[in-house]
Amino acid sequence: MGTRRAASYLVTFVALLLAAVAGCSRATPPGTAVSRGPASAQRNGRPAAATPVAPAPAQPAADAASATPPGHSPAAGSHAAPAAGPQALGSLAPNETGQVMIVEYHVIGPEEGRWARTPENFRRDLEELYRRGYRPVNLTDLLDRRVDLPKGYSPVVLTFDDGTAGQFRYIVKDGKRLIDPDSAVGILLDFHEKHPDWGLRATFYVNDLPFEQADSWPEKVRFLVEQGFEVGNHTLTHANLARLDAAGTMRELAGQVRLLREAVPDLQPQTLALPYGGLPRAAEAAKTGSHQGTSYRIRAFLLVGANPAPSPHSPRFDPYRLPRIQAVDSRFESTSNLDRWLRYFDEHPERRYVSDGDPATVAGLSGGPGQVAPDAGKTTTEP
């Protein structure tokens, strides 16, 4: 009897186990999205407190690098799905000792290239930054330690080198002159209209023919300044300052200031994007000088790549060696591109600068210093 009873118990146990397995197979499949309400809201033009959203299931490592947003083929852009999804907007703990992304653009044009971004991918860059809680500030805001953002949001600095036509172009449509909606300025204006809390903030570094339309460049420079953008110095002739002496350096930098003052008489560019990424041979002359009655004072040098900048509150912050992140397809630059660093800060949110909502105070993560991301100090060169 004892043996038969034990066998009966065993059969019953196996039947219950099989039923449980069958029930699990009818449950929600892994990866099925469950709606939990809107991730954020707008209130008076500023981000309101966000409703927490359950994080997306982690993807296998082999798939995460090749995944693309719905509706986009891998060839159309380089935005891979992050291994760890973005945090709910405004939910990050304040850390104003974290790092800041200064993003570098050159050509905005019809094809992706080593120094080119398509309008479609530039729009996508803005969307990716926006949904991750980044908001633009001007570079001088960092230099002045004046980052005025709502609590839980991070600054990003957008920079545009060389003053190419695709950055700011006028077109004629139906007899009217318009800002090209596929130029960088047109895209930024449209994005601001759709997202009022994305301010009109960016710095344009131009040479001797800003934006390559001779009949309208002064008007364009005035428009940028009036809208709240910054215009920086990139030398008059895109000169390699690593090869120039003090006299040549002053001629290039003062000459560019003199040109820009034809559009805005009191304009004083405060920052310099270094052509070719070369540090000036005559460093002091690159910071302050004069030529033929025109003087200048430069407060920061921008390098070419290749990692986030330290917080302006960090002792490691050197305004004359500010690195940048390149907004190019990963096919052309795999280590310092924007997508890589977006994923990095998704996985390490404690290492990014996050505002405490009060420009008068500096919030550190648990009272400690900001941590340093990989590749700190590495630079690259541009053609």
Q: What is the pLDDT of residues 231-262, one digit of tens each?
A: 999 999 999 999 999 999 999 999 999 999 99
pLDDT band of 329, cuts 50, 70, 90: confident
The rounded distance, in Å, linking the Cα atoms of 87 and 346 is 7
Among 24-33, 218-227, 299-308, the minimum mean pLDDT is found in 24-33
Query: Which residue would you say has higher pLDDT here, 33 or 188?
Result: 188
243: left (phi over 0), alpha (psi -120 to 50) or beta: alpha
pLDDT of residue 203: 98
Does the pLDDT of residue 114 top 60, yes or no? yes
pLDDT of residue 375: 39
Are the C-beta atoms of residues 220 and 211 closer than 8 Å to each other?
A: yes
pLDDT of residue 91: 83
If one counts every other C-beta atom within 10 angstroms of the C-beta of residue 294, the result is 16
Average pLDDT for residues 277-296, to the nearest whole number?
97
Does the pLDDT of residue 64 top 80, yes or no? no
Range picked from 21-35, 324-338, 345-359 for highest mean pLDDT: 345-359
Does the pLDDT of residue 76 top 70, yes or no? no
Average pLDDT for residues 55-65, to the nearest whole number?
30
Query: Which residue would you say has higher pLDDT here, 226 or 371?
Result: 226
Q: What percent of the chain has pLDDT over 90?
A: 67
pLDDT of residue 163: 97
In whole numbers, what is the pLDDT of the chain averaged over residues?
79
Does the pLDDT of residue 138 top 60, yes or no? yes
Average pLDDT for residues 15-39, to the nearest whole number?
34
pLDDT band of 48, cuts 50, 70, 90: very low
Strand duo 101-105 + 325-326: pairing = parallel
If one counts every other C-beta atom within 10 angstroms of the C-beta of residue 242, the result is 14
Domains of the chain: 92-367 (3.20.20.370)
Tokens in use for 31?
């990866």
Are the C-beta atoms of residues 304 and 242 closer than 8 Å to each other?
A: no
Average pLDDT for residues 216-245, to the nearest whole number?
98
Q: What percent of the chain has pLDDT over 70?
A: 72
Query: Which residue would you say has higher pLDDT here, 270 or 90?
Result: 270
pLDDT band of 87, cuts 50, 70, 90: low
Closest CA to 330 of 114, 159, 124, 109: 114
The rounded distance, in Å, linking the Cα atoms of 132 and 180 is 27
Tokens in use for 67?
């995944």
pLDDT band of 364, cuts 50, 70, 90: confident
With 0.85 as the threshold, say if the pTM is over it. Answer: no
* Residue 345: half-sphere exposure toward Cβ, Cα within 13 Å: 28
The rounded distance, in Å, linking the Cα atoms of 163 and 318 is 26
Tokens in use for 133?
């809680």
Does the pLDDT of residue 2 top 80, yes or no? no
Burial of 68 (0-12, 13-18, 19+ CB in 10 A): middle
Average pLDDT for residues 368-383, to the nearest whole number?
38
